[in-house]
Amino acid sequence: MSLAEAAIRVEELTRELNEYNYQYYVLAAPTISDYDFDQKLKELEELERQFPQLLDPDSPTQKVGGDITQRFHTVRHRWPMLSLSNTYSEQELRDFDERVRKAIGNDFEYVCELKFDGLSISLTYENGVLKRGVTRGDGIQGDDVTTNVRTIKKIPNRLKTDGFPDLFEIRGEILMHRAAFQRLNNERIENGEMAYANPRNFAAGTIKLQNSAEVARRPLDCFLYFLYSDNRNRLFNTHWDSLQAVKSWGFHVSEHTALCTSIEEVLAFIAKWDEARYNLSYDIDGIVIKVNDYGQQEELGFTAKSPRWAISYKYKAEQVETLFQSVSYQVGRTGAVTPVANLKPVLLAGTTVKRASLHNANEIERLDLREGDTVFVEKGGEIIPKVMGVNLLKRQPDAQPILYPLLCPVCGTPLVRKDGEAVHYCPNEDGCPPQIVGRMQHFIGRKAMDIEGMGDETIETFFKRGLLHNITDIYTLTDKQDELIQLERFGQKSIDNMIAGIEKSKEKPFEKVLFALGIRYVGETVAKKLANHFKTIDALMAASKEEIQSVYEVGERIAESVTEYFAIALHRQQIERLRQYGVQLAIEEKEIQRLGDSLTGKSFVISGVFEQFSREELTALIESHGGKLLSSISGKLDFLVAGDKMGPSKLAKAEKLGIAIISEQELLQLIGS
Ligand code: AMP
Ligand code: ZN
């Protein structure tokens, strides 16, 4: 294949894979099998290996720290991870009960459990120590995600009791609680990153991250519900007993589990949780019913796909039909436009729903939404309901399609859409009211300048009154107290409080200020990295895209966004004003925790998995001794710190360039000397 041909194919694959990722993670509606996805990803990897000049840092093969990758070792399951036969109907459940009775008689019990809506995981323990965590994959083999699993606090790394088998496997479901989902997803939206559709997708996306430090930051939980070991049947007679034991070994086992002696009791359990599930802090999508006795389980056996001794009853996702009235287009802080459907109010899962998410223009197109349509609205785990489809039987013959606006609904600027992105943006950053207000709200927020005595509403009021036009105006409020006191609901006390908050914000460290500016893709972590690396805003403003990109784990997309931001004269003026008001635009010397200088002037790349330290720890170690971290291997690099499982192409490249390849031990020696 020629370079030109390869370039075309690489572009094609990149576009397709990005779209599949989007379908999978955001829409939760994949249109391709995992296998086919992997094949395409492998093809792309292979082309990038053959033609390194075509390797884009934004390639789906390179996504680290925030996006998915598929590069994990495949491991065969000792006991295949079968699925469960499932049903939505009471009658089929009674049929299941009949079949069980025919096979094993009338003397048996069922265990009823919640069917957690997450992703299943298989954990292997040897002598009480967690050895391996593997995803279900295709049931026969899955991905080895052990390093990520270790970051989950609810999964013990080492059992503290005894009585467990020397070697056992335990299975369960990894999930994210709704509150954490909401919080982290909002953060992603604020940082201009793709939002996940629901907690399950977020959990699944998280467990497949390459960057375990990021996994650790996202709180996951894990409920365990199956024990396997060679001598299991000698230790326990029943599944129920095994669950009690497993709990005593330190595993998280759901308390909402019941022993039932008849199908009527099972149905009562199902009915109870159909209502009560909304009070749980996480999502379930049904109930799993298992025959309790191990001997009886063996008698019943398996079909090719699932055990005959278990079944899952799935709750219908609550869906209602209602009239679609109009679309509102909301403009966020980053200029991203989100379409929201306004609906004729309707009762759904206990609440009145008036609005539903439409995601973006592609989604409206996919739905083929027309004016006056009757739509199906569904509430899964997510708080905002979704428009799932259109009832075509009720469509008016002359219904007009919904045309996505060409202009910003607020400021009238033509909208833009970047290649390969589904979202439209209003590019009028400094003139579009919701963007200005949003940026100021971001600036004063808890994680940014944390200005006490000021809230989102204050900003909105002040903006409408012409008291604030951009972030720097916040520091002029001190001189506008006469005007402020005229405002309704603004007493001297709250003004004093706010002024004190504004003054205090001038002490916020540089990294917070950098984050507060609201540069697209510069979230908290990136802001910290940039601040630590460049030390002053002047150095950062003077840096080229390449220099910014050379900072460890800062990609091209971020680097481009930063240089674009500072290229705008207005932004530079704002920085000057912030400087005059005394806002921190440099790292205070004492903030850099320096432990030594032995690595000064040396550059490093860290790759692979390490025994003694995490990658984050190695990073800190290098930086605190004056070393610099680079993101990729080039002729300028001094050392490659190589761990286990490092990519062969990286290794080859480093060898070719004659770069010193060292182990973590050798790094320590380097620091020591
Ligand atoms: P399905 O994917 O619909 O075939 O359902 C089977 C899946 O349900 C299993 O692979 C598990 O991941 C999941 N599951 C959730 N909760 C439980 C539970 N309590 N017992 C067994 N499987 C469960
Ligand atoms: Zn606008």
Where do the domains of the chain lie, and which CATH numbers do they carry? 3-62 (1.10.287.610), 74-305 (3.30.470.30), 317-428 (2.40.50.140), 433-580 (1.10.150.20), 603-671 (3.40.50.10190)
For a substitution probing ligand 1, which of 84, 170, 222, 255 has the most ligand atoms within 8 Å of its CB? 84
278 in a known ligand binding site: no
Q: What is the pLDDT of residue 267?
A: 96
Q: What is the pLDDT of residue 28?
A: 52
Sheet of 628-629: strands edge to edge? Answer: 628-629, 603-607, 639-642, 660-662
Q: Which of 186-195, 415-424, 480-489, 566-575 has the highest mean pLDDT?
A: 566-575
| Band of pLDDT at residue 194, cut at 50, 70 and 90 | low
For a substitution probing ligand 1, which of 288, 290, 297 has the most ligand atoms within 8 Å of its CB? 288
Reply yes or no on whether the pLDDT at 67 is more than 50. no
Reply yes or no on whether the pLDDT at 65 is more than 80. no
Find where tokens 């925030």 sit: 66
Reply yes or no on whether the pLDDT at 88 is more than 90. no
> Is 273's C-beta closer than 6 angstroms to any atom of ligand 1?
no
Provide mean pLDDT across the span 66-88. Answer: 76
Q: What is the pLDDT of residue 30?
A: 60
pLDDT tens-place string over residues 560-574: 999 999 999 999 999
Reply yes or no on whether the pLDDT at 615 is more than 90. no
Provide mean pLDDT across the span 548-568. Answer: 90
524 in a known ligand binding site: no
Q: What is the pLDDT of residue 66?
A: 31
- Dist. CA 410–CA 333, nearest whole Å: 13
> Is 240's C-beta closer than 6 angstroms to any atom of ligand 1?
no
CA proximity to 38, closest of 74, 2, 3, 64:
74
| Band of pLDDT at residue 603, cut at 50, 70 and 90 | very high
| Band of pLDDT at residue 451, cut at 50, 70 and 90 | very high
For the CA of 82, the closest atom of ligand 1 is 10
Q: What is the pLDDT of residue 640?
A: 92
Provide mean pLDDT across the span 582-590. Answer: 84
Of 204 and 552, the one with more pLDDT: 204
> Is 115's C-beta closer than 6 angstroms to any atom of ligand 1?
yes
- Dist. CA 533–CA 524, nearest whole Å: 14
Reply yes or no on whether the pLDDT at 27 is more than 70. no
Question: Is-above-0.85 flag for pTM?
Answer: no
pLDDT mean across residues, the chain = 88
Q: What is the pLDDT of residue 64?
A: 33
| Band of pLDDT at residue 461, cut at 50, 70 and 90 | very high
| Band of pLDDT at residue 42, cut at 50, 70 and 90 | confident
Look up residue 652 and give its amino acid: A
Find where tokens 């809506």 sit: 117
> Is 225's C-beta closer than 6 angstroms to any atom of ligand 1?
yes
- Dist. CA 142–CA 644, nearest whole Å: 20
Reply yes or no on whether the pLDDT at 647 is more than 80. no
- Protein residue with its CA nearest to atom 14 in ligand 1: 115
Query: From the CB of residue 179, how many other CB atoms can be counted at a distance below 10 Å?
Result: 12
Q: Where are the alpha helices (DSSP H) in 122-280?
A: 146-149, 178-190, 199-207, 212-217, 232-235, 239-248, 263-276
For the CA of 113, the closest atom of ligand 1 is 19
Host H or E run for residue 540: helix 537-542
Indicate which residues carry an active-site annotation: 115
Is the C-alpha dihedral spanning 571, 574, 579, 585 positive or negative?
A: negative
For a substitution probing ligand 1, which of 312, 314, 315 has the most ligand atoms within 8 Å of its CB? 312
Sequence-distant (≥ 6) Cβ neighbours of residue 428 within 8 angstroms: 335, 408, 411, 413, 435
Of 231 and 471, the one with more pLDDT: 471
Angle at 661 between CA 656 and CA 666, to 5 degrees: 170
Q: What does DSSP assign to residue 376?
A: E
34 in a known ligand binding site: yes
**Separation of CA 116 and ligand 1 centre (Å):** 7
84 in a known ligand binding site: yes
For the CA of 310, the closest atom of ligand 1 is 21
| Band of pLDDT at residue 389, cut at 50, 70 and 90 | confident
> Is 257's C-beta closer than 6 angstroms to any atom of ligand 1?
no
**Separation of CA 432 and ligand 2 centre (Å):** 4
Provide mean pLDDT across the span 43-65. Answer: 77
**Separation of CA 149 and ligand 2 centre (Å):** 43
- Dist. CA 498–CA 503, nearest whole Å: 9
For the CA of 81, the closest atom of ligand 1 is 10
Provide mean pLDDT across the span 488-493. Answer: 85
Ligand with minimal distance to 432 CA:
2
Look up residue 607 and give its amino acid: S
